[in-house]
Amino acid sequence: MPRKARKYIIASNTLYHIVSRGNNQRRIFRSGRDYKKFLSILEKTKKEYPFYLYSYNLLPNHYHLEIETQEVPISKIMHQINNSYAKYFRRRYGGSGHLFQGRFFSALVDKDAYFWALARYIDLNAVEAGIVKKPEDYRWSSYSIYCQKEYGGDLIGRERFLRYGGEDLERSRKSYLKFIQEVLKDKRKRKPPFPVNKKMI
């Protein structure tokens, strides 16, 4: 039975936790080149459909994003990202069928209450998956960007993110890293402290 046409949800300045998984839990990233291609697609999409990206974690069979929309609806942004990557993946590896497991999942998150908490949850995903013991050891997440004293890239809205911790960006950066370390010391705090009732949109 064919799917009904998707209606774009228009909500500007809304914070989303996005999760997209490989079909049947299959790998969507098979090499370093794949991870790099996905990040380049994120950058290209940001230029075409502006949004703020605060954190990401790319794992072998799924990925997490923390996105704040501007004028373009999240459905349009995600269609561009997943469709572009799926085309690249098929060109490189061949095959047919769906790369991703249905439509992406999203959760609207209270920005004022859970802005940093969501980023921390995402940055620790590779640790939770048992891929690494420390988040700084995982190359394909935004954590390494916040570890740097300076960052000149366009992918992450780092300054906007850090300003939520105060006007002193360096002090705020250290506060965020400490915020993550506190959870690493206490596993009971690793569960997301924000609503996780996700829905497909």
3-state SS class at 165: helix
Structure tokens at 45: 């999409």
pLDDT for residue 4:
43
Confidence of residue 45 (pLDDT cuts 50, 70, 90): very high
Domain 15-200 CATH class label: alpha beta
3-state SS class at 104: coil
Tell me the mean pLDDT in the region 93-105: 84
Q: Given a cut of 70, is residue 178 above it in pLDDT?
A: yes
**Crossing angle for the helix pair 169-185 and 111-123, nearest 10 degrees?**
60
Domain boundaries, the chain: 15-200
Tell me the mean pLDDT in the region 19-43: 95
Residue 62: closest CA among 19, 91, 96, 105: 19
3-state SS class at 90: helix
Question: Is pTM, for the whole model, over 0.95?
Answer: no
Residue 28: closest CA among 46, 41, 16, 17: 41
pLDDT tens digits for range 77-97:
999 999 999 999 999 998 777
